[in-house]
Structure 1
């Protein structure tokens, strides 16, 4: 008898429906016509034992019992699902062959592996177990997955990586939370000071951003624009006007801020006056034809980011919508994916999937999809189809399921999934990028223009929601430029000084916080670590990021104000009390990199866990000397938020002000 073990009942039912014959529903499983059985886990059936399961003395929180490091790890059944565990125990005993059908990710691999091991499957059964990777709950896709079983032994490193993560999180979170809660209580803080290797660095990102905003001192800066005219053409063509922006020379360094912006108005006035009425010469002119490919299909994080930008949906709302679209409506593939690529074998289904998606979009009154469909080229293979970048799961894409009734939020999320998929079959955006440098007296002026020649995939994207181009527009970009050549003589009609003011960093939103979590290399403090991190290395996993953000709100460490996310006094106090290693993402980014190495067979479990446990002793000693004065009298972070709004100066701390350099000299050359 073959026993298929799914992670959830919905997946178990999908497996059963994909196998021909008349089936019989039974308690916690389905009897197949073939004599085989499908059962499931109802999510996590097992959980890490609490400290007092190892020793009753751990029930009381005390510095004297820290750190708590189990010598032999214990799992215990979850009370609400114990009955299903009993069902699986009997079925595993009867089975001749096991098929692991957990979700196709790190956590799904460990979840079913632990159940098989906990319930005493023989070494032979575990060795012969097979793995079924299902990304789409519709019958044809499940049947295909069932025909492509792999040895479960191939995924042992993935399971080991998840096990290391789970145990390390337990050790770090439990010990640090107890240590800092005890210290906080001594200082008068009424509540649990939750510390986690992912949640705390995320909180640190927000707290530091709030500090930057509170400390920010705006300053004026001054751009100089030259208003230029070409000469009349040889055949009597009209003169053409355009403008170019002054680029300060090295001799102006004393007047520039850290971003190279001129802070001296007398200097700007001097430059504008000197160039007025002067001849000018083109010293450089480049026109390049470029293309921008469509954005890739979505991973969960990219979908959460886009949905927050477009519709204001939180990360958790998007995850909830995705689960419904996957399990209930069967309109999208597996949603907790960190991949944005597709297997080559899927390409043959592209037109059929796109046609179904467009039909569903018409039902949702999105006619632009039908218009885009007329421009689609289904023989064109975009960069999304790449077997080298696909393993257990691929990007989130539509299925060939016809639309059923959706909630408003579900429809919005589904629209984004369909949009990025259909875009793969549209032409690239084509444009001409023109850049010219102009010399006026001794000063250099620059202008750049982007002229669209073929909109391609951008017809599906409202302009405000289009992905940022690598050649993103900046302050030297103008609407258009005439055709020029090096050596052309121009006339500067006048110089213009434009006064601008620096603006503070923007508060985090769900979109920007998720972006920070998925590309954490930008925020680590160690430059050497920053070099080795990949663009995709991040804090947490696709499956956990939304929950981590929501947990910080529940703990009272974060609050929302419109779309903006801010830290509360309790959150700020906790970050102030913790050592830098706990509040910066360096340690967590290094963990994620090492956990990925375990899954790729490059690092062993012990090589990760041993130094992690050793470092815990030092962290706990630091806790005993930390200052918690800023937490005195606080207990409910949310209730402190309104109070903090009337006294934002409490966020300020001594340090360098982000206001750039200053200067008053005006004699520098242009």
Structure 2
């Protein structure tokens, strides 16, 4: 008898559906005609034990207990899952072959592996466990996956990495939260000061941005434009590029701060002849944007649909369960080459499902294969794309329809030509001063025709920022080096420097995925560019939501700001806790475990040393200043572990219970 253990009931049912019928449905499992059994977890069946289960004295939060470091780690069944755990235990005893069917990611690998360990599967039988990787719940995809079972032992590094992360988060969160919460109480603050390996640096990013905005002092600066006339009477304008001699009157970003300098140059060039010193013409192209990973989908959904990260993940999960899109918690934006053979069916399904995209599908080039199909870039799971399943989208709610369309449009774009353009740059010398004019003309709209927003002309350049658009021309005359032009006017634009923009859902997610640009140390920045950033695809939405639930973050319209408590907490913490450097380096070390470049023992040993150092720093005299915390606010929660640090995002747990 073969026993298949899925991560969730929905996946278990999808697997059973492709196995021989008739089926016998039992409580907690399905029996197939050929004698296979399909059962499931309900998300995590197990969770880390509470500190007081290691020592009853730990029920009280005392500084002298720290650090709490289990010598023998313990797991316990989550509330309400004991019956399902018993079902799996009973079926395991009679199974000839066990198939691990956790979700195809780090957490999904650990989720089933830890159940096998908890139920004391022998070492011999553990070596015989097979691994089933399902990215798409539709029957054809599940059948293919069942034909490609692998040895579960190949995925041990993935499970070890997830185990290290889980235990590291427990150690870091439990110990630092207890330390700073107790210290906060001694200073008169009665709330929970939750510290997390990822959540606290994310809060630190927002606090830092808020402080930059609060301390920002606007200053005036001046741009100068020359209005030029060519020999065939075509007018265009060029922007002045100040020379090194002008630096005493400029800031570090090259902006002119003294209007008199701009006025002097304007007076000198009016009515004077200029000469083209350089003329560049370039043919360029933009490839279609890759299909979505979860983070890139969350960023676009925030920008275009005003959906926050948690809502996007929840809606995408529902589409996955309805078999309309592939696995949602993917960190990959590429597709397996063999999947290209299925593209006609996927395109046909999109055309049938989404009327707004039917014309786009009709005009697609099904023979085209974009760079998205690349086996070398695909790991355990691939990009999020529509499946070949057809349905009536109007049976879905508005958010589900909108997100399906967003995912489908990105997929259809893979079958469109590249966007092609001609860019022109003219450098003009007038009275010794350098002026630059640019233009960009669309030659072939290509895939960009799918992304034209209402009220925006097709062919306009959406890639340029505000300053570039201001310096660009709709058209530039065909001039060559040595040609003469006439300066008929000069215009000075008075401007003010702008503070950095407050974070939004989209930009905060972007900051978490591209954390390297917020790090000053060049060596650390280099390391971080090779990691996935702060958190994982599956956890980022839950981390942001947790900070709102903890009342460390608040919303003001689209903007995300830190609360008074959030700001005070970051100011009281050592830089190492509130900045992304350390935790992102840990993510790099966890990835090294997956790639067999690092070890569990090495990672946990480094963590232990760092944690003890942070506790020593916190408990030293003057180690933490809580004077800015609101006095008496909040309510002290003794059971921190249950309330505040789920191993899985709250949204994912709620979804598991529903299934």
What range describes the TM-score normalised by the shorter chain of this pair?
over 0.9
Counterpart position of 1:337 = 330
Structure 1 residues 136 and 101, CA gap change in structure 2 (3 angstroms): same
By how many angstroms is 1:57 displaced?
1.2
**Other structure's SS at 2:381 match:** coil
By how many angstroms is 1:481 displaced?
0.8
**In 1, distance between residues paired with 2:124 and 2:360?**
54
Structure 1 residues 428 and 471, CA gap change in structure 2 (3 angstroms): farther
1:462-512 superposed Cα distances (whole Å, 9 cap, x missing partner): 349999749994543222211110000110011111111111111100100
**In 1, distance between residues paired with 2:568 and 2:632?**
9
By how many angstroms is 1:527 displaced?
1.6
Structure 1 residues 172 and 474, CA gap change in structure 2 (3 angstroms): farther
Counterpart position of 2:654 = none
Q: Is the 8 A contact 2:240 2:434 kept in 1?
A: yes
Counterpart position of 1:71 = 71
Q: Is the 8 A contact 2:340 2:373 kept in 1?
A: yes
Counterpart position of 1:129 = 129
Q: Is the 8 A contact 1:292 1:469 kept in 2?
A: no
Q: Is the 8 A contact 2:226 2:491 kept in 1?
A: yes
Pick from 260, 270, 277 the counterpart of residue 254 of structure 2.
260
Counterpart position of 2:652 = none
The aligned runs of 1:638-649 (5 Å cut-off) are none
Counterpart position of 2:640 = none
Counterpart position of 1:424 = 414
Q: Is the 8 A contact 1:570 1:635 kept in 2?
A: no
1:233-268 superposed Cα distances (whole Å, 9 cap, x missing partner): xxxxxx100000000000111111121111110001
Structure 1 residues 519 and 627, CA gap change in structure 2 (3 angstroms): same
1:364-400 superposed Cα distances (whole Å, 9 cap, x missing partner): xx1xx22222331122111101111111100000011
Matching of residue 249 in structure 1 with residue 243 in structure 2: yes
Q: Is the 8 A contact 2:527 2:585 kept in 1?
A: no
**Other structure's SS at 1:290 match:** strand
Q: Is the 8 A contact 1:521 1:535 kept in 2?
A: no
**In 2, distance between residues paired with 1:602 and 1:57?**
39
* Contiguous gaps of at least 5 residues in structure 2: 636-659
Counterpart position of 1:521 = 516
Counterpart position of 2:626 = 628
By how many angstroms is 1:621 displaced?
1.4
By how many angstroms is 1:537 displaced?
2.3
**Other structure's SS at 1:128 match:** coil
**In 1, distance between residues paired with 2:363 and 2:547?**
45
Pick from 268, 271, 287 the counterpart of residue 274 of structure 1.
268
Counterpart position of 2:405 = 415
* Contiguous gaps of at least 5 residues in structure 1: 233-238, 638-670
Q: Is the 8 A contact 1:11 1:137 kept in 2?
A: yes
The aligned runs of 1:465-476 (5 Å cut-off) are 469=463, 473-476=468-471
Matching of residue 35 in structure 1 with residue 35 in structure 2: yes
**In 2, distance between residues paired with 1:618 and 1:632?**
28
Q: Is the 8 A contact 1:525 1:584 kept in 2?
A: no
**In 1, distance between residues paired with 2:626 and 2:49?**
30
Q: Is the 8 A contact 2:531 2:584 kept in 1?
A: no
Pick from 372, 384, 391 the counterpart of residue 403 of structure 1.
391
**In 2, distance between residues paired with 1:588 and 1:536?**
11
**In 1, distance between residues paired with 2:479 and 2:112?**
67
Counterpart position of 1:453 = 443
**In 1, distance between residues paired with 2:43 and 2:617?**
38
**In 2, distance between residues paired with 1:462 and 1:112?**
45
Matching of residue 370 in structure 1 with residue 368 in structure 2: no
Q: Spell out structure 1 runs of 4+ moving beyond 6 A.
A: 464-468
Matching of residue 584 in structure 1 with residue 570 in structure 2: no
Matching of residue 391 in structure 1 with residue 379 in structure 2: yes
TM-score of the superposed pair, with normalisation by structure 1: 0.91
Aligned residues: 625
Q: Is the 8 A contact 2:416 2:446 kept in 1?
A: yes
Counterpart position of 1:648 = none
**In 1, distance between residues paired with 2:464 and 2:568?**
39
**Other structure's SS at 2:125 match:** helix
Counterpart position of 1:606 = 601
**In 1, distance between residues paired with 2:570 and 2:404?**
38
**In 1, distance between residues paired with 2:222 and 2:463?**
27
TM-score of the superposed pair, with normalisation by structure 2: 0.93
Matching of residue 50 in structure 1 with residue 50 in structure 2: yes
Counterpart position of 1:10 = 10
**Other structure's SS at 1:191 match:** coil
Structure 1 residues 309 and 471, CA gap change in structure 2 (3 angstroms): closer
Counterpart position of 2:653 = none
Structure 1 residues 467 and 418, CA gap change in structure 2 (3 angstroms): farther
